[in-house]
């Protein structure tokens, strides 16, 4: 799915379409006033104040018709530069534009764009004429507070999207429909994976099937990291306020942290695993010969997110970060990052997720360290990408204040982009916590520290996988891998129980559907639940000690000896 904001032509087209929509709204609701209408990844939106009127979903078609009428008129879109006095005069009856003007810097160029009778403050650019805006769709309408502040007035926000051709628009709308079907909140509920409750907004409950999926993912993570020489740890959920002051979180992240008092001391539930990982490193002396030291943790963290930002597993208040911290010598940075990139590529390929890398470099201001140190660090990250034959895009000035980073953008089966993995070089926390190793001369030296998360958040990654696979997980991840259906319980259930016991001994996740329902109904239910293997046991299977299985989304039935089936599914799981 295309990112409209990152495509220069589509970005201009969508912003122009936002103005076209605003003009149409103004014709239908003459009293309408407008806040802002930016381009976003999915298209555009405009925040609108229509007074006591309410724009409903069914009104969007009426607005679209007016937009098409305006487009056919073919008016030019004209850029006008204004003095602040002229702008105040034109928009004197519009409090939203007055607010914009009040917040502009003195001497800032003020521009507006006009098409026909409609004019609005805007930096642009736009297409030349409204005639170029032909293939659009208004998608939905929702509420949005002015400036995103709940103490301000609620406005109406209309979302839309625009393309250069009807074919591109149709394809995009098809993908949006497909994305709706794959919504992880919907599938998570239908497949019994997780639940959310008003008793804990933003705190997901893992249900038995979701827990089976999660454990399979965790076990995979543990095995792969042990192969790579990581030492696995677990750090406490709550730590003293003094630790968070040292790390800098107390001053910079306090409003997002949950706190409590223990023995008259203030404690905070950890919002990040890093300080705990540093304390583990600091608990022993280290020689240059010991480095790199790789410490991994699946650590549960808590962050206070705004209630309006919560979104299924994608945005929660408690989540598990698959963190690791690598402490190494300066001369090891490039090799260690190269190993990480290789590991990330290996892991992502298992899920069929392609990726691109962005290298975020030194901010223009408020960074620590010298320019020379930054240049050297950025070069090391770039060289690591090149060692792996991986292209990267430079994201100038977007590094953290403490160091440059590599961000991994994953592309799922619908072509959507997800920010997941990250590798960050940190010179701040080693300094704050005064950590060191002993070099070959017996001197104390500050190690380099790499923060890295591969999934990012286990919860969010599961949400991505639910949508990526549309709930039809590969066998190794599936909560239930085999569903056994006896045709008649009184005749076939004993053999089914025998198969179930054998599969459990082989650590295969199995269920038995022995409800007194017709076999066709139970088969359909098994398909609806997206179980990889459904086995039907009847007279022939009992007599011959065979199984007849059907793969998810297939109508073909295959009969094989029981031991052959066990070998087959074990191989399927092993090969992921």
Among this protein's residues, is 451 annotated catalytic? yes
Given the residues 120, 322, 323, 513, the one annotated as active site: 323
Among this protein's residues, is 460 annotated catalytic? no
Peptide bond before residue 9 is cis, with ω within 30 degrees of 0: no
Given the residues 23, 115, 156, 321, the one annotated as active site: 321
How far is CA 258 from each of CA 205, 230, 245, 264, 272, rounded to the nearest angstrom? 19, 30, 14, 16, 12
Q: Residue 524's Cα: distance from chain center in Å? A: 32
Q: How far apart are alpha carbons 20 and 33 in whole angstroms? A: 14
Given the residues 294, 303, 460, 492, the one annotated as active site: 303
Four-point Cα dihedral 73, 76, 82, 87, nearest 10: 10
The DSSP code for 152 is S
Beta bridge partners of 239: 268
Given the residues 17, 274, 328, 420, the one annotated as active site: 274
Among this protein's residues, is 325 annotated catalytic? yes
Close Cβ partners of 530 (under 8 Å, ≥ 6 residues apart): 191, 471, 472, 473, 478, 552
Pick from 251, 275, 233: nearest CA to 430? 275
Given the residues 172, 405, 427, 509, the one annotated as active site: 405
Given the residues 26, 97, 325, 460, the one annotated as active site: 325
Q: How far apart are alpha carbons 258 and 266 in whole angstroms? A: 11
Among this protein's residues, is 17 annotated catalytic? no
Strand order in the sheet with 533-537: 510-512, 482-486, 533-537, 546-551, 558-561
Among this protein's residues, is 227 annotated catalytic? no
Computed on alpha carbons and rounded to an integer, the radius of gyration of the chain in Å comes to: 29
Q: Are 428 and 453 in contact (CB under 8 A)?
A: no
Question: Rounded to the nearest 5°, which phi and psi values hold at 519?
Answer: -60, -35
Catalytic machinery residues: 274, 303, 321, 323, 325, 405, 451
């Amino acid at each position: 799915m295309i990112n409209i904001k990152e495509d220069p032509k589509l970005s201009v087209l969508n912003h122009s379409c936002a103005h076209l929509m605003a003009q149409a709204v103004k014709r239908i609701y003459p009293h309408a006033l407008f806040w802002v209408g930016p381009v976003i990844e999915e298209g555009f939106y405009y925040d609108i104040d229509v007074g006591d009127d309410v724009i409903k979903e069914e009104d969007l078609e009426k607005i679209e018709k007016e937009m098409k009428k305006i487009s056919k008129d073919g008016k030019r879109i004209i850029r006008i530069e204004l003095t602040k006095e002229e702008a105040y005069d034109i928009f004197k009856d519009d409090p939203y534009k007055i607010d914009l003007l009040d917040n502009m810097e003195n001497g800032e160029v003020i521009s507006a764009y006009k098409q026909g009778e409609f004019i609005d403050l805007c930096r642009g650019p736009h297409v030349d004429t409204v005639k170029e805006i032909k293939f659009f769709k208004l998608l939905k309408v929702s509420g949005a507070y002015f400036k995103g502040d709940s103490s301000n007035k609620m406005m109406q926000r209309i979302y839309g999207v625009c393309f250069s051709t009807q074919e591109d628009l149709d394809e995009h709308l098809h993908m949006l429909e497909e994305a709706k079907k794959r919504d992880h909140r919907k599938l998570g509920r239908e497949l019994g994976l997780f639940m959310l409750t008003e008793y804990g907004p933003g705190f997901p409950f893992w249900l038995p099937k979701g827990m089976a999926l999660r454990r399979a993912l965790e076990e995979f993570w543990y095995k792969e990291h042990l192969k790579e020489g990581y030492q696995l740890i677990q750090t406490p959920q709550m730590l003293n306020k003094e630790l968070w002051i040292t790390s800098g979180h107390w001053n910079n992240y306090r409003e997002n942290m949950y706190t409590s008092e223990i023995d008259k001391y203030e404690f905070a539930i950890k919002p990040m695993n890093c300080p705990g990982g540093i304390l583990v490193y600091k608990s022993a002396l280290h020689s240059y010969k010991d480095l790199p030291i790789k410490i991994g943790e699946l650590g549960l963290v808590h962050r206070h997110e705004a209630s309006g930002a919560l979104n299924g597993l994608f945005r929660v208040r408690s989540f598990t970060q698959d963190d690791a911290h690598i402490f190494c010598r300066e001369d090891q940075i490039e090799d260690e990052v190269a190993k990480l990139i290789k590991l990330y590529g290996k892991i992502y390929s298992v899920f069929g997720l392609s990726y691109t890398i962005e290298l975020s470099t030194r901010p223009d201001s408020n960074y620590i360290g010298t320019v020379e140190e930054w240049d050297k660090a950025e070069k090391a990250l770039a060289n690591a990408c090149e060692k792996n034959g991986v292209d990267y895009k430079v994201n100038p000035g977007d590094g953290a204040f403490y160091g440059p980073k590599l961000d991994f953008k994953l592309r799922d089966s619908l072509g959507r982009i997800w920010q997941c993995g990250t590798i960050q070089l940190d010179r701040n926390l080693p300094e704050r916590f005064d950590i060191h190793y002993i070099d070959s001369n017996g001197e104390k030296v500050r190690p380099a520290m790499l923060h890295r998360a591969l999934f990012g958040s286990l919860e969010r990654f599961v949400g991505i996988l639910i949508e990526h696979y549309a709930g039809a997980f590969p066998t190794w991840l599936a909560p239930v891998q085999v569903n056994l259906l006896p045709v008649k319980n009184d005749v076939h259930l004993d053999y089914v129980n025998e198969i179930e016991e054998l599969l459990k001994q082989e650590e295969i996740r199995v269920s038995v559907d022995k409800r007194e329902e017709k076999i066709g109904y139970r088969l359909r239910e098994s398909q609806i639940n997206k179980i990889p293997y459904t086995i039907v046991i009847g007279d022939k299977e009992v007599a011959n000690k065979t199984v007849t299985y059907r793969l998810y989304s297939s109508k073909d039935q295959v009969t094989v000896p029981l031991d052959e089936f066990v070998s087959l599914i074990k191989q399927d799981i092993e090969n992921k």
